[in-house]
Amino acid sequence: MSKRSRSVAAGAKKNKQEWPLVVYLWVLGLGFGGYLVVGEFVLGNRPHPMHWAAGLVGGLLGIPLGWLWYRWRGDVL
């Protein structure tokens, strides 16, 4: 049997892009801040799922803001 030819080197892997650290920091910061500030202090009398929704909205808002920061200033490391 003959050997099969490979078009890609044996050790080469597909370059998988990860999100930059600054995006994760914005998501965590705004998610936690949204939960504490908006959820606990502003919506303190409301049902508890409103607190979680405030944290979720803050975290989702952190994704585009983190990417904008990354494009403008670069990563934090």
Domain membership of residue 42 (yes or no) is yes
Domain membership of residue 64 (yes or no) is yes
Query: Alpha-carbon distance 54 to 56, whole Å?
Result: 5
The first and second tokens of residue 54, run together, are 């405030």
Domain membership of residue 28 (yes or no) is yes
Domain membership of residue 48 (yes or no) is yes
Domain membership of residue 12 (yes or no) is no
Name the burial class of residue 43, with classes exposed (0-12), middle (13-18) and buried (19+) by CB atoms within 10 angstroms of its CB.
middle
Around 33, how many Cα atoms within 13 Å sit in the side-chain half-sphere?
A: 11
Domain membership of residue 37 (yes or no) is yes
Q: What is the pTM of this model?
A: 0.72
Where does the pLDDT of residue 27 fall: very low under 50, low under 70, confident under 90, or very high at 90 and above? very high
Where does the pLDDT of residue 12 fall: very low under 50, low under 70, confident under 90, or very high at 90 and above? low
Domain membership of residue 46 (yes or no) is yes
pLDDT value, residue 46: 83
Residue 55 is part of which domain span? Answer: 21-73
Cβ neighbour number for residue 31 with a 10 Å cutoff: 19
Mean pLDDT of the chain: 87
Are 63 and 26 a contacting pair, CB within 8 Å? yes
Q: How many domains does the chain have?
A: 1
